[in-house]
Amino acid sequence: MSHFWSSSGLDLHLDLQATAKRRSGLESALRAAIQDGRLPAGTLLPSTRGLARDLGLSRGTVTAAYNQLVEEGFLATRPGSGFTVTELPSRASVTTASPSASPRIRHDLRPGLPDVSAFPTGAWLAATRRVLTGARPEIFAAGDPQGRIELRRALAGYLGRTRGVVATPDRIVITSGYHQGVTLLSGVLAGRGITSAALEDPGHNVYRQAIQRGGLATVPLPVDQQGARVDTVPPGAGAVFLTPSHQYPTGVPLHPSRRQTVCAWARSTGGVVIEDDYDGEYRYDRRPIGALQGIAPDHVVYCGTASKTLGPALRLAWMVLPPHLVPDLVRAKQDADLFTETLNQLVLAELISGYAYDRHIRAARLRYRRRRMLLLDRVAACPGITVHGVPAGLHSLLTLPTMGPTEAELLDRCTEQGLGIRGLTELHHNPDDRPQGLLVGFAAASERAYPAALDALFTVLVSAYT
Amino acid sequence: MSHFWSSSGLDLHLDLQATAKRRSGLESALRAAIQDGRLPAGTLLPSTRGLARDLGLSRGTVTAAYNQLVEEGFLATRPGSGFTVTELPSRASVTTASPSASPRIRHDLRPGLPDVSAFPTGAWLAATRRVLTGARPEIFAAGDPQGRIELRRALAGYLGRTRGVVATPDRIVITSGYHQGVTLLSGVLAGRGITSAALEDPGHNVYRQAIQRGGLATVPLPVDQQGARVDTVPPGAGAVFLTPSHQYPTGVPLHPSRRQTVCAWARSTGGVVIEDDYDGEYRYDRRPIGALQGIAPDHVVYCGTASKTLGPALRLAWMVLPPHLVPDLVRAKQDADLFTETLNQLVLAELISGYAYDRHIRAARLRYRRRRMLLLDRVAACPGITVHGVPAGLHSLLTLPTMGPTEAELLDRCTEQGLGIRGLTELHHNPDDRPQGLLVGFAAASERAYPAALDALFTVLVSAYT
């Protein structure tokens, strides 16, 4: 219903929702009038008695509504002088747009991303309800810099049974994503006197920079068909960063003999091995190989993340550390941002304990396995293009024919087609004269969008090489 | 109903929930049996056909349940050899307890904490549901290092109308709590060639350390009855950190003439003023004084947080910056942890836009005002103890009689009584020969627990000084 009032010489058309509660209905009507300028700054509102009479409301209701709007800063009041509309400096600015964060992607084939359109919203909501209702208030207070014990307990069980990680809650540290974790860990290792670390070449360039910011020099570790050449770790290096279950980006697993080699290196030199198990959940031909950490738990830092299973938005990752590194890493975490946000930690713990996390991953595994096959079928029709790596993970590396456009030219054509995709070159420590290729993320798109994304990619590739 | 099966020579008592779905019921029953050891590692399970017959389930149901448990790592299977229970390295460790993060507090009078027992769980849940249902999948993908635009828009409006902050979304950066924000900002200022910053003395020692870690030397800025002596900023200092609305810990607001002085200093020297508006929402005698930032928006960094309104667990804080500082701070945030967790940002934006945030703060304000009065009544009965500061914030500073136990002795007695409370001395840059006192946080306890906490405190004080 709508009302017209003329008390205090002010005409105003107020839209009161018949459905809404009387007080909140009046509040929203007044807010709307102030926000769209019908009640300009300085306007004196009618007396509570007058408006109550006009609108057929109790005076108490009107007074409560006025006071609420005073609290919200829409109205001001001075004893004896009634209620007036305030000047709101930023009222206009609220609608100001901000520069978008990332370029427009029409076809998402970015590596390392899961299909977030399959986020288990229902399960997440249900778990959130369980966490919040009847929660002990302390969950809203300051948290443990090491991470919530509930999540560390759940992860200890989960990582043990699914990845063969030797994990106890007191060895686990939760960080706001792997990127923060690897940055803090690098700082801790630098604080221990380690000056340089060996990194897979090619490898993830973003983390290479994070490790350098942490204070470690990085030396390249060549990668071949058996994974990283861990036999070539230079004497000076005190740490080795590896992706043993599915080397990023080549997709080859670390050969069993090399797993033994690098663990022997760590035992004999006291060096630290960092195992980035970024996509260990996704193996499509058989059960995943267990984590390297299981072989030498006192020398390997195991790193896992929810970014590749649920989504990067949660900023949740975990490290399982040799006990002697835990206190330093917890201190570094505390210095950086005190502790990781609590609610997502508790919800994830709930999902893991109830096995909804396993179910979600299992369903995703079936979808991604299909998508990878679709990709391989397309490649088979493109002579000269080779797929590398085992059936696993969220991406495949394609290398390109020697004749034809360069990787850079291809990436330009992909961008023109709105394709989000990565090149191989930037992942080499020294990009010159290295094999060129494309990293195709087959998980990032939604089920519906994936076929069109493949079409767009292979339109570019076919026109480039035929 | 419960079942007994003897296929494959194995006797097992399985508790199937009559209510549960048949498949998930069987899964949980098997999980329970494995976890409590009734099905030891290596056990060969009955054939799917046999168990289906025994339990009166379809064979497909049993097969599906077995496969789920294989995915979860409880069972292993090899073609032709059936399903066996696996060895779970960490099955035992899951129950391992971890050292508690904070000492046992029976009576919580810690300063700077809100009453988290009043967290608006219902409103938070409802907002979470609105955010998640029908959400665009991108909210689960990588976020904006500057912070979600939805939250920055909501904050621009909220800070404008409630604190008089000149805020547009593009000036706002979201951080994982103020502690991270001040650390990153200090690094940015150090990168701009600023070597030292002036900090209130006494002031918050935790942030003093954060600012030093960020790379700035800190020089003390004395505090008197009109707030920080901003007229004494030494020539070398390129930044001044202030708590203008309610100086921490003394509780005095910065005098209007000094607000003008420090803004003039910033304009003439190009120095940066950092306004920590940590409890600006809580003023009990009249409307809060507007933010200092409103006077000189291009020279003042305004800092606010959800830690004092909803709870530290959310790790949500915001800075409103002079435009020239925004890109550097966004880059620093990205280097630290890419971006702040998304879901809480969207839920908070929802609460602010729907005014549930205002309502929550208003209700808290009424409770805290009452609690402060209760504290003052008790102090009035203790000759020699003085309360400092204006009616505002979440704590009051009490200074102590010169005769009697020292602050340190008092704090020991408080700890014996299970009182969580802070002393004044540690907040002085140089603790020697400084006035001693207690910081009483009247917000941290629950409504029910607060009176007993006051009793405990004044039992200690009365016995100490009479």
Provide, as residue numbers in chain A, all residues whose Cβ is less than 8 Å from the Cβ of B152: 98
b/e burial code for range B17-28 (CB count within 10 A of at least 16 → b): eeeeebbbbbbb
Q: Helices (DSSP H) in B45-148: which residue ranges?
A: 48-55, 59-71, 121-132
Q: Is B99 a residue whose pLDDT tops 50? A: no
ipTM above 0.90, yes or no: no
Sign of torsion over alpha carbons A426, A430, A432, A434: negative
Q: What are phi and psi of B103, to 5 degrees?
A: -65, 160
Q: Distance from A300 to chain B by nearest Cα, in Å? A: 16
> In angstroms, rounded to a whole number, what is the distance separating the alpha carbons of residues B442 and B367?
10
- Mean pLDDT, range A427-441, rounded to an integer: 88
Looking at domain B120-357, its CATH class is: alpha beta
Residues of B in contact with A210 (CB under 8 A): 335
Are B140 and A168 in contact (CB < 8 Å)?
no
Q: What is the pLDDT of residue A68?
A: 79
| Residue A286, Cβ density class (10 Å: 0-12 exposed, 13-18 middle, ≥19 buried) | exposed
**pLDDT(B267) > 80:** yes
Interface contact flag, A140 B159, Cβ < 8 Å: no
pLDDT band at A65 (very low <50, low <70, confident <90, very high): confident
Nearest to B128 among A128, A170, A294 (CB): A128
Q: In what order do the strands lie in the sheet with A172-175?
A: A172-175, A317-320, A300-305, A272-276, A239-242, A196-201, A217-224, A227-228
Q: How far apart are CA B391 and CA B346, in angstroms?
A: 33
What digits encode the pLDDT tens for the residues A280-290? 999 998 766 78
Per-residue model confidence as pLDDT tens digits over B314-335 = 999 999 999 999 999 999 999 9
Kindly report each contact of residues B347-350 with a partner whose C-beta sits within 8 Å and lies 24 or more positions away, as own/partner. B347/B124, B347/B127, B347/B128, B347/B131, B348/B151, B348/B154, B348/B306, B348/B310, B348/B314, B348/B316, B349/B148, B349/B150, B349/B151, B349/B153, B349/B154, B349/B155, B350/B127, B350/B130, B350/B131
What are the tens digits of pLDDT across the range A244-288?
999 999 999 999 999 999 999 999 999 999 999 999 999 998 766
Element of type H or E holding A360: helix A356-380
Fold of A107-115+359-465: Aspartate Aminotransferase, domain 1 (3.90.1150)
Residue A197, strand partner residues: A218, A239
Higher pLDDT, B91 or A231: A231
CATH 3.90.1150.10 boundaries in chain B: 107-115+359-465
B62-68 long-range CB contacts below 8 Å, 24 or more apart?
B62/B26, B64/B23, B65/B23, B65/B24, B65/B26, B65/B27, B65/B30, B68/A355, B68/A358, B68/A359, B68/A362, B68/B23, B68/B27
How far, in Å, are A3, A44, A47, B90, B156 from residue A41 at the CA level?
21, 9, 17, 65, 18
Tell me the C-alpha distance between A334 and A315, whole Å: 16
Angstrom distance (rounded) from CA A71 to CA B286: 11
Q: How far is A441 from chain B (nearest CA, A)?
A: 14
Tell me: pLDDT of B19 over 60. no
The verdict on pTM exceeding 0.80 is yes
Contacts with B227 (C-beta within 8 Å, 6 or more apart), sequence order? B242, B244, B247, B252, B253, B254, B255, B258
Contact B149 A98 (CB under 8 A): yes
The residue among A16 and A394 whose pLDDT is bigger is A394
Q: How far is CA B25 from CA B31, B83, B365, in A?
A: 10, 18, 49
Predicted pLDDT of residue B434: 78
For the cut 60, the answer to whether the pLDDT of residue A92 exceeds it is no
Q: How confident is the model at residue A36 (pLDDT cuts 50, 70, 90)?
A: low
| Confidence (pLDDT) at A24 | 80
pLDDT for the residue B118: 96
What value, to the nearest 5°, has the Cα angle with vertex B373 and ends B372 and B375? 65
Rounded average pLDDT over B348-374: 96
Q: Look at A176 and B337 and tell me if their CB atoms are within 8 Å.
A: yes
CA distance B203 to B422: 13
Contact yes or no for B128/A131 (Cβ under 8 A): no
Question: pLDDT of A110-140, one tens digit each?
Answer: 999 999 999 999 999 999 999 999 778 999 9
A–B interface: beta-carbon pairs under 8 A: 272
Amino acid at B381: A
Given a contact cutoff of 8 angstroms between Cβ atoms, the answer to whether A128 and A347 are in contact is: yes
B-chain residues within 8 Å CB-CB of A141? 113, 116, 311-313
- The CATH number given to B2-96 is 1.10.10.10
Q: Are residues B237 and B197 in contact, defined by beta-carbon separation less than 8 angstroms?
A: yes
> For residue B160, is pLDDT > 70?
yes
CA distance A417 to A286: 36
For residues A12-37, one letter each, b for 16 or more C-beta atoms within 10 angstroms of the residue's C-beta and e for the rest, the string is bebebeeeeebbbbbbbbbbebbeee
Contacts of A361 in chain B (CB under 8 A): 71
- pLDDT number for residue A279: 93
Sign of CA dihedral B204, B207, B212, B218: negative
**CATH 3.40.640.10 residue ranges for chain B:** 120-357
Cβ pair A140:B315 closer than 8 A: no
Dihedral class, residue B445 (left if φ above 0, else alpha if ψ from -120 to 50, else beta): beta
Cα–Cα nearest to A95, from B173, B302, B169: B169
Return d(Cα B145, Cα A328) in angstroms, integer. Answer: 27
pLDDT at A7 over 80: no
Q: What is the pLDDT of residues B25-77, one digit of tens each?
A: 888 888 777 776 667 777 778 888 878 887 788 888 888 888 878 877 788 88
Give the minimum alpha-carbon distance from B350 to chain A in angstroms, rounded to a whole number.
Answer: 14
> Is the pLDDT higher at A152 or at B401?
A152
The 10s digit of each residue's pLDDT in B415-446 is 999 999 999 999 999 877 678 899 999 999 99
What is the residue-wise DSSP string for A90-154?
TTTGGG-----SS---SEE--TT---GGG--HHHHHHHHHHHHTT--GGGGS---TT--HHHHHH
**Predicted local confidence at residue A97, as pLDDT:** 37
| CA distance to partner chain A, nearest, from residue B359 (Å) | 8
A439: how many CB neighbours lie within 10 A of its CB? 24
Which residues are B386's β-sheet partners? B399
Of B312 and A12, more confident = B312
> pLDDT tier at B206 (50, 70, 90 boundaries)?
very high
CATH 1.10.10.10 residue ranges in chain A?
2-96
* pLDDT computed for residue B30 by the predictor: 83
User: Nearest Cβ partner of B140 from A94, A116, A125?
Assistant: A116
pLDDT bin (cut points 50, 70, 90) of residue B98 is: very low
Non-local CB neighbours of A463 within 8 Å, separated by 6+ positions? none
